Amino acid sequence: MSGESRSVGQQLAALEALLFVTAEPVSLTDLQRVLGVEVDWLKELITTLNSDYTEQGRGLRIYSQSEHCQLVTAPEVASYVEKFLGLQSGSKLSAAALETLTVIAYRQPLTRQGVEAIRGVDSSGVINTLQARGLIEEVGRQESVGHPVLFGTTFEFLHQFGLASLKELPPLKELEEPLQSTPADSLSL
């Protein structure tokens, strides 16, 4: 059955089922192939399903990043999920970790050297901590001498901060200004 001959309701139900049975982020290409729809229509289906979840106050959301998406619990119900699973609320990030995470979130993809140029201090340890917590990941290599690692945020970052996508990050005036006029200690979430 082709995507065009199925009703929108059937397509939404199929999309929801596919995301439900997958524990990891799913590529839009894979969803497009299985559903038999064009990528623009698939993105519209994702937006519609996500809007339905939000408008109905449901406990699920679809987080999208790059060309992947994942069905996750809504941030509003996190305390219930943590209590049910016997989890403690996540420990807080240090000021240095928040500062580094902010720089990467707004400037990604960014190398460690790029983070250090903005912060003005060594950021190796903080970057390792953020990677270990699943908030940032290697997203590629810079096309320059040594091919340094480029870092970007993860689905876990979106989930922890209650964002559906990076487009929901609030404007951050300090990072929009030229690097030389950005005081490192003024960056925060």
Pairwise pLDDT comparison (87 vs 5), residue with the higher score: 87
pTM: 0.57
Query: Under CATH, which number does the domain 95-186 receive?
Result: 1.10.10.10
pLDDT digits (tens, 9 = 90+) for 11-53: 999 999 999 999 888 999 999 999 999 999 999 999 999 999 9
CATH of domain 3-84: 1.10.10.10
Look at residue 91 in the predicted model and tell me its pLDDT: 66
How far apart CA 9 and CA 14 sit, in angstroms, is 9
10-19 contacts, C-beta under 8 A, 24 or more apart: 11/35, 11/37, 11/45, 12/45, 12/48, 12/49, 12/52, 15/42, 15/45, 15/46, 15/49, 16/49, 16/71, 19/62, 19/69, 19/70, 19/71
pLDDT of residue 75: 81
Q: What is the pLDDT of residue 1?
A: 39
Domain ranges across the chain:
3-84, 95-186
Distance of CA 58 to the CA centre of its chain: 20
Sign of CA pseudo-dihedral 74, 79, 85, 89: positive
List, for residues 65-120, the tens digit of each pLDDT value. 778 898 988 888 888 887 887 766 556 888 999 999 999 999 999 999 999 999 99
Residue 187's pLDDT is what? 39
Asked whether this chain's domains 3-84 and 95-186 adopt the same fold, the reply is yes
